[in-house]
Amino acid sequence: MQKVIVLDFGAQYGQLIARRVRDLGVYSEILPCDTPAAELAATGVDAIILSGGPASVYAENAPSIDPAVFELGVPVLGFCYGQQIMAKVLGGEVGHTDVGEYGPATITRVTPSRLFDGTPEEQTVWMSHRDSVVKVPEGFAVTARTAVCPVASMECAERNLYATQFHPEVRHTTYGNDMLSNFLFDICGLIRDWSADGIADILIAAICNQVGNDRMILGLSGGVDSSVVGALCARAIGKQLTCVFVNHGLLRKNEPEEVEEVFTKQFDVDFVHVHAEERYAKLLAGVTDPEAKRTIIGTQFWEEFFAVAQQLAEDGRPVKYLAQGTIYPDIIESGARKTGGKASTIKSHHNLIPFPEGVSFELVEPLDHFFKDEVRALGTALGLPDSIVWRQPFPGPGLAIRIIGDVTPEKLRILKDADAIVREELDTYNALLFEKTGERNSEHACWQYFAVLPDIRCVGVMGDERTYARPVIVRAVESTDAMTADWAKLPYEVLEKISSRIVAEVVGVNRVVYDVTPKPPGTVEWE
Ligand code: XMP
């Protein structure tokens, strides 16, 4: 399989470039900017892209590049800082321009270039720079400029070196994708050969290589990220992997059974189902504060998890590696940055893991380069069922934060049963939309939907009897990232069916209400 390496100069969203390349059907991964040329050559690279970065090429400790990269005979494309470093290393000049450019800018092409084939003479691009190239290296031609930037792009076609001051990877650059495509297929002569199956093979080989004959442990939550890591590691190292599924009793109806089924029947791993339901019930008894519930549940998870690791060590099977389902947006969100290596010691986004005294693991995070939809494609390629691959987001503290007030077995029973009905009906609703639109996340598909149990009772009448029972709240939202959300405008018939089924089928419920609050000002969850 062909490979495009993105050398990262500290670009805020460097992974986006790799992502765009993968979207075009060519495998791509990111490595630190100072990776030696010999190392790149040894791994077999077909094209190199230099990312942008926040520094000035003349700043002290400015990130640099091994000049031999330009001698490898491999086509190179630089963006922003990538253009500037290419110019500087190859004998051009970078200077401060009087006016920086931030945001949309119009470029005018000045000489024909294969990079711009099929795109207009004038077009909108996305700029973000103060420095710019003021003199191109020998043998280079300027291919586009803007009113304030004399070298908006440059190239030395004979050596297959291309660069742009703007960012083609950003959607605001109207023809950015065409440029990337021209580079990959026309200039580099690559073909589309990347697929989720292919990447699964690469990741599996990397895990085998790293872990060797040692033992690895993974906390399985049943969510898509940890399940895909579980499936990958299972394929890579089989029974050397212990999957720990801590059942806190706060998962949705039938979920624990499904996770167990998949990881015992479909994958051949050491699966430990920790039945911690009673311990959690005791710890949560009488606790009403949402943050206190979260803390108790999180802390106890690690207690249970480390107890399994300790038991393995006592049984003569000590654990060296901890696998984590970290995906790329988790790293962005936590502000932690890392490029390259598949494993590292604990970084800031893992500081929340309360390792006991003297305990440490080496981390394996096979998905840390990937975005959610790529992880889903990988899950499908590995044979995980749709119910896991397309599982909606579910909070770690589970149903405990959907039960307002204290958590009791009776409330849990009511919520699980009501929630199962909400999910069943809205799964059907989403599936019908999917059939119509061909898109799983079509505009009006519900993104997250569940039931909430408030800590009150209300009066009703059933048959000839007055009832004094519980109301259930239905929450269904449309969103893409949970940062903002809108309540789903569900058809009345769907709401009617959910309501009548819950009241008829769930003992102890006499009323159903629908939450019509967007986020903000509401949140998706009630606690
Ligand atoms: P809110 O309620 O903040 O939720 O609008 C946004 C998204 O985050 C999920 N969520 C959590 N996930 N632990 C988690 O792992 C939590 O404590 C938690 N609280 C909210 C929520 O389901 C939604 O997708």
Instruction: Determine if ligand 1 sits within 6 Å of the CB of residue 397.
Output: yes
Per-residue pLDDT tens over the stretch 10-62:
876 678 899 899 999 999 988 999 999 999 999 889 999 999 998 889 888 89
Pairwise CA distance, residues 489 & 140, whole Å:
57
Ligand 1 atom having least distance to the Cα of 396: 15
Ligand 1 centroid, distance to 112 Cα (angstroms):
51
Q: What 3-state class would DSSP assign to 135?
A: strand
**Residues designated catalytic:** 80, 167, 169
Ligand 1 centroid, distance to 323 Cα (angstroms):
23
Nearest protein CA to atom 3 of ligand 1, as residue: 523
Across 344-356, average pLDDT: 50
Contact 80, 168 (CB under 8 A): no
Ligand 1 centroid, distance to 333 Cα (angstroms):
14
Instruction: Determine if ligand 1 sits within 6 Å of the CB of residue 517.
Output: no
State phi, psi for 473 to the nearest 5 degrees. Answer: -100, 135
So what's the pLDDT on residue 347? Answer: 35
Contact 449, 488 (CB under 8 A): yes
CATH fold label, 408-514? GMP Synthetase; Chain A, domain 3 (3.30.300)
So what's the pLDDT on residue 348? Answer: 37
Ligand 1 atom having least distance to the Cα of 394: 22
Residue 351's pLDDT band (cuts 50, 70, 90): very low
Ligand 1 centroid, distance to 523 Cα (angstroms):
8
Ligand 1 centroid, distance to 401 Cα (angstroms):
9
So what's the pLDDT on residue 349? Answer: 42
Q: Model's pTM, two decimal places?
A: 0.79
Per-residue pLDDT tens over the stretch 109-123:
999 999 999 999 999
Buried (b) or exposed (e) across 447-463, using 16+ Cβ within 10 A? bbbbbbbbeeeeebeee
Neighbouring C-beta atoms of residue 347, cutoff 10 Å: 16
Instruction: Determine if ligand 1 sits within 6 Å of the CB of residue 413.
Output: no
Instruction: Determine if ligand 1 sits within 6 Å of the CB of residue 395.
Output: yes
Task: Indicate the pairing of strand 509-514 with strand 465-478.
Answer: parallel
- Residue 521: cis peptide before it, omega within 30 degrees of 0: yes
Instruction: Determine if ligand 1 sits within 6 Å of the CB of residue 511.
Output: no
Beta bridge partners of residue 469, listed in sequence order: 458
> Is 402 a residue whose pLDDT tops 50?
yes
Instruction: Determine if ligand 1 sits within 6 Å of the CB of residue 221.
Output: no
Quickly list H helices, 93-214: 176-181, 196-211
Nearest protein CA to atom 12 of ligand 1, as residue: 395
Instruction: Determine if ligand 1 sits within 6 Å of the CB of residue 482.
Output: yes
Per-residue pLDDT tens over the stretch 278-316:
999 999 999 999 999 999 999 999 999 999 999 999 999
So what's the pLDDT on residue 339? Answer: 40
Per-residue pLDDT tens over the stretch 241-269:
999 999 999 999 999 999 999 999 999 99
Say whether 408-514 and 4-187 share the same fold.
Answer: no
Ligand 1 atom having least distance to the Cα of 523: 5
CATH fold label, 199-389? Rossmann fold (3.40.50)
Domain 4-187: CATH superfamily, name plus number: Class I glutamine amidotransferase (GATase) domain (3.40.50.880)
Per-residue pLDDT tens over the stretch 416-435:
999 999 999 999 999 998 88
So what's the pLDDT on residue 270? Answer: 97
Ligand 1 centroid, distance to 521 Cα (angstroms):
15
CA-based nearest residue to 349, from 369, 328, 334: 334
Q: Where are the domains of the chain?
A: 4-187, 199-389, 408-514
